A = this chain, B = another copy of it.
Amino acid sequence: MTVTRTEAHAPAVRCAAPHVLGRCRALVRPALARAVEQLHPWVGEMASYSFGWCEPGGAPADHPGGKGIRQALAVLGAEAAGAPGQAGVDAAVAVELVHTFSLLHDDIMDGDATRRRRPTVWKAYGTGPAVLAGDALYALAVETLAVSGGGPDAIRMLSGALGDLVSGQADDLLFAARPWTGPERVRPEEYRTMAEHKTGALLGCAAALGALSGGAPPETVTALERAGRHLGIAFQVVDDVLGIWGDPSVTGKPVHGDLRERKKTLPVLAALDAPGPVARRLAAFLESAEAVDDAAAAHAAVLIDEAGGRTAALAEAADHIASVERALTGVPLAAAAANELRLLMDHLVDRDV
Interface residues of A (CB under 8 A from B): 38-40, 42-43, 105, 108-111, 127-129, 131-132, 134-136, 138-140, 142-143, 145-147, 149-152, 155-156, 158-160, 162-163, 166-167, 169-171, 173-174
- Which residues of chain B are near A174, meaning CB under 8 Å? 42
Chain copies in the assembled complex = 2
Other than A108-B127, A151-B152, give 5 A-B pairs with Cβ distance below 8 A: A105-B132, A108-B128, A138-B138, A139-B162, A143-B159
Would you give the shortest CB distance from A168 to chain B, in whole angstroms?
9
A42 and B170 within 8 A (CB): yes
Interface of A is mostly: helix
Task: Write the nearest CB–CB distance from A292 to chain B, whole angstroms.
Answer: 22
The 10 closest A-B pairs by CB, nearest first: A109-B128, A139-B162, A143-B159, A142-B159, A146-B155, A136-B166, A40-B167, A146-B156, A40-B170, A139-B163
Chain B residue with the shortest CB-CB distance to A44: B170
The answer for the CA separation of A25 and B169 in the assembled complex, in Å, is 31
Q: Tell me the complex Cα distance, A345–B33, Å.
A: 40
Q: How far is the CA of A105 from the CA of B155 in the complex (A)?
A: 23
Interface centre among A149, A150, A169, A174 (most CB of B within 10 A): A169
**Is there contact, CB below 8 Å, between B131 and A105?**
yes
Q: How far is the CB of A140 from chain B (nearest CB, A)?
A: 7
Give the shortest distance, in Å, between A151 (CB) and chain B (any CB): 7
A162-B135, A166-B40, A170-B42 in contact; A143/B156 too (CB < 8 A)? yes
**9 examples of A-B residue contacts, CB within 8 angstroms:** A108-B131, A109-B128, A128-B173, A134-B135, A136-B163, A138-B139, A142-B159, A145-B155, A152-B155
